[in-house]
A and B are shown apart, each in its own frame.
Chain A
Amino acid sequence: MNSTLLEHHNPIPKMQSIKVNITIYGKLAEIGGGKHIAILDLEIPPSSTLGDLLEDLKIPMDETSFIFLNAVLCDVPGLSVVHDESLKEGAHIGIFSTGYMWPYQYRDGMPMSDPLVKAMKRYGAMHHSYKGLEDNSDETKKSF
C-alpha cells in the first residue's frame, strides 16, 4: 500500500495487553501519521474502552463521524456515544472524520450498538447529522 495507508505499530508492548487494530479515515488520519487513511496496530490495557483509546490517541470527538467496532456501527456524526464500548483482543475499530456521508437508506437495518440505538430513539434515526439538535448536550449523550 502506498503512503496514505500508513501502518503503525506502537513500539513498547505492554504487560497484560490486548492487540487492537484501528483504521482512521479522512483528515483525522494525520493523527495516525497518514494523509487520508492511517492503519494502526496497537497494544492497550485489557480493560480499555473505546473512549480511553480515543483519548490516548488524542482524537477529538467533535471531529469524528461514523465509528465502527467489529463492523457494528457505534456512532454517527454529532452523537458521540462510544466512550463506554469495551475493547477485546483482536478488535477492529474504524473511525471516520467529519464530512463523511452515509445516508440513512444505506444503513437502515445495519447492526448498531445498544447506546447508539438508544440515542437514535431519542434524537431520531433518519438524520445524517445530529449537530444542533435540541437536548444534544455532552451530558445527555454520556447517559447513553
Chain B
Amino acid sequence: MAKKILRINMSDLSAKYEPLPEKWVKWGGRGLTSAITFDEVPPDCHPLGPNNKLTIAPGWVSGSPAAPSSGRTSFGGKSPLTGGIKETNAGGLASQKIAKLQIAAIIIEGTPAPGKWYLISINKDEVKFEDASDIFGKGMYEVDEILWERYPVKPAVIGIGQAGEMKLSNAGISVNDQENRPGRYAGRGGMGAVMGTKGIKAIVIDDTGAPGVEIANKELFAEGRKKLTAAILEHDLTKKGGGLPSYGTAILVNIINEAGGLPTRNFSTGQFEGAAKISGEMIAETIEKRCADGGEGQTGHACHPGCVIKCSNIYPNEDGSHLVSCVEYETAWALGANCGIDDLDYVAMMTYECNDIGLDTIEAGNTVAIAMEGGLLEFGDQEGALKTFDEIRNKTPLGRILGQGVEATAKAFGVHRVPTVKHQSMPAYEPRAIKGIGVTYATTPMGADHTAGYTIAPEIAGVGGKVDPLSDEGKADLSLTFQAATAFIDSTGYCLFIAFPILDIATGWAGMAESVAGVTGLEITGDDVIPIGKEILKMERLFNEGAGFTAEDDRIPEFMNYEPLAPHNVVWGIPDEELDKVYEWVHNDG
C-alpha cells in the first residue's frame, strides 16, 4: 500500500485521500511541506487568507520500527510572521502516528464559515469534523486533557491555544508529548495562526490498527538504524549520562555566556551575570533537590516515543510536582537572560504560559525584552513579565500587540534595537560575536533561525579542502552547506541532534543514510545529502522571491553594524556581498 496525501478542505468540510503524486514521492518532512507549499500556495497570497495552506508531514523514517529519535513532524505553509515560506517542526506523538497511517502529508486548505471552529479526528477508517465550541477559548493543557478523556486511545493531539484563535503572528502549533502535555511546539513563524484561519482548534490522530510504515529494504534499514543507534549511544554528548540527557539543551547557556555570545537585555550585551542561575546545570540541580524523595521532575526525558537521546526535562514546582516540560536553552535564554531575569521558576512559569496560550518561546521572550526596552516594564521585572502573558490570554489590545511578536511590539513602543531578519526574531546566539550563525540568520529562507544551518562533517559536506572554515571568506559556502544539510535532516524525521554522532562517528553517518534508503527505497547516499538539501532550499528561495523578498532582506539588523557588543566589543562586519553569495547559485545552477 503506497503512501498517500490526505487533503482536507475546510470550506466544504471534506476530506479525501489522494495517491502521492510522483513529483512528491522523493520528499518527506520539510522537503515535502516545502514542495507542497511551493507547488500549491501562491507566494503572494495573504498568509491568513483562504489561499494559504497548512501542510503537516512526518519525515522519511518516522514511524518505522526502532528508528532512533525520529519523531519530528513538519508543519509548512506561508508564514504570517515572515511573509515567506515556513517549515517548523516538533517532537511529540504526531509524527509516528501519521506515518503509521501511511499518510505522507495532510494538506489543509480553504476556510470555514466565520466563527466556526472544528475538531478533526483522523483514524484508519475515517476523518471526522466535529464542532469544537466546547474547547474553543481554552489553553492547550486543558484541551489535551479533555481530548484524551474523550479519546481513550491516547492519540496525538495537534492544537492551538488562544494565540492561534486570534491568528496572532507568534502563534505556534502544539503537539502533545507522551504524558499528554503541550510543549512540543512547531513554534516559529506563526503557523498556529494559519491553523486558526482554517477554523481548526485541534486535530486528533489515532493510529489504532494502522497498517504501519512499509520498509522498502528491511535488511538495509535494520543495518542502518543499528549503526545510527550505536553512534548516538556512544557519543559523549548523546549517550546515557552524556551532556544532553544530563543537562538538556540548556547545557549551552554557560558555554555561550562564557563565549560572550549570549544576547542579554534585548541584545545590548553578550554576557549575562545571572546566566548560571538559568542554566542546564541549575535545572538539573533544582530537579535533584526538589525531587530527592520522588516527584515528577526529570532530566533525560524523551519528547517522543523512541528517542534515545532524551534531552527534554520536566521542571518541577517546589513540591516536586510538574511545573512545565520543557525548559530548553532557547527558552531559558529568551525568557531569562534576554529579559534580564535570572529566576528559573519564573522562566518555567512563563514557559508554561507559552505552552498553554500557544506561543513560540523565542519570539515571546524577545517580545517581552522589546517591551522592557520600550518602557512597558523594567528589565529583570519577572512579575511584570509573567503578567504580560495574561494580556495575551485575555485577548486585550495590548496582548494582541505583544502576540504579534517583536516587530509589531517594537513599533508600538518606539524601539529601534530590533533583532529580526525577515521579520522573525533571532534565537540565542549573538551574530556579532558568533559571525557564522549570523550568515545563516541573514540568508535562510526561514527568517532568523538557529536550526537552519546545522553542521555536517566536512568530508560529507563536500566542502573540505574547498573553503577554510576558520576564515570569514568561506562563510557563505559554509552556511549554504549547513543549510542544505539541515534541510535534508529536517526531511528525515530524525531529530537534528543526531548531527553530533554522525559528525564525529563515521558509522553513524552511514547508518543515517542507510536507514533512510532502507525505508524509502530511494537511492540515497552521503553524496546526495547536499544536492537534495539544495533542491529544498531552491524551492524555498524561489517561493520567497515570489512573495517579494530580495537580497536586501538577507541582512542583519542595522544596529548590529554600529553598536559594538561587549565583551568582545565587535560589530557585525560581514560585507553584504558575502551574504549575497550564499544563494547566488539559485539562478546560476540551472
Contacts and interface: CB of A to CB of B under 8 A. Distances in A.
Contacts of A46: none
A68 B258 contact: yes
Contacts of B261: 110
Interface string B442-486: 000000001001110110000010001110100100100010000
A36 interface: yes
B531 interface: no
A108 B434 contact: yes
Given A36-B282, A99-B236, A110 B244 contact: no
Given A99-B242, A100-B243, A125-B469, A106 B236 contact: no
A96 B277 contact: no
A117 interface: yes
B440 A37 contact: no
B296 interface: no
A111 B567 CA distance: 11
B190 to A, nearest CB: 25
Interface string A55-67: 0000000000010
A127 B256 contact: no
Contact of B281 (A4, A70, A101, A108): A4
A106 B434 contact: yes
A143 B98 CA distance: 55
A106 B318 CA distance: 34
Contact of A1 (B244, B246, B277, B457): B277
B568 interface: yes
A71 B468 CA distance: 23
Contacts, number: 134
Interface in B216-253: 235-237, 241-244, 246, 251-252
B568 A111 contact: yes
B277 A102 contact: no
A19 interface: no
Contacts of B468: 121
Interface residues of B, number: 54
A124 B236 contact: no
Interface residues of A, number: 43
A111 to B, nearest CB: 6
A36 B434 contact: no
Nearest to B280: A36
A54 interface: no
A128 interface: yes
A77 B568 contact: no
A109 interface: yes
A129 B236 contact: yes
B285 A71 contact: no
Interface string B314-345: 00000000000000000000000000000000
A131 B276 CA distance: 28
Contacts of B453: 105
Interface string A70-113: 11010001000000000000000010101111111111111110
Interface in B268-301: 270-271, 276-277, 279, 281-282, 284-285
Task: Tell me if A's interface is mostly helix, strand, loop or mixed.
Answer: loop
Contacts of B235: 129
A109 B567 contact: no
A23 to B, nearest CB: 8
A102 to B, nearest CB: 5
B433 interface: yes
User: Which of A98, A105, A129 counts the most chain B CB atoms within 10 A?
Assistant: A105
B258 A101 contact: no
Interface stretch (B148-156, B367-375, B498-506): B498-506
A76 to B, nearest CB: 11
A26 interface: yes
A106 to B, nearest CB: 5
A107 B470 CA distance: 11
Interface string B393-429: 0000000000000000000000000000000000001
Contacts of A36: 281-282, 284-285
Given A37-B281, A71-B259, A108-B469, A103 B243 contact: no
B492 interface: no
B503 A102 contact: no
**8 tightest CB-CB pairs across the interface, nearest first?**
A108-B436, A109-B435, A36-B281, A94-B258, A71-B260, A99-B243, A104-B455, A109-B436
22 contacts: A25-B281, A36-B282, A37-B254, A96-B254, A98-B236, A99-B241, A102-B255, A103-B499, A103-B500, A104-B455, A104-B503, A106-B429, A106-B450, A108-B435, A108-B475, A109-B472, A109-B475, A126-B457, A126-B503, A129-B235, A129-B236, A131-B236
Interface of B: 235-237, 241-244, 246, 251-252, 254-256, 258-261, 270-271, 276-277, 279, 281-282, 284-285, 429, 433-438, 440, 450, 453-455, 457-458, 464, 468-470, 472, 475, 478, 482, 499-500, 503-504, 567-568
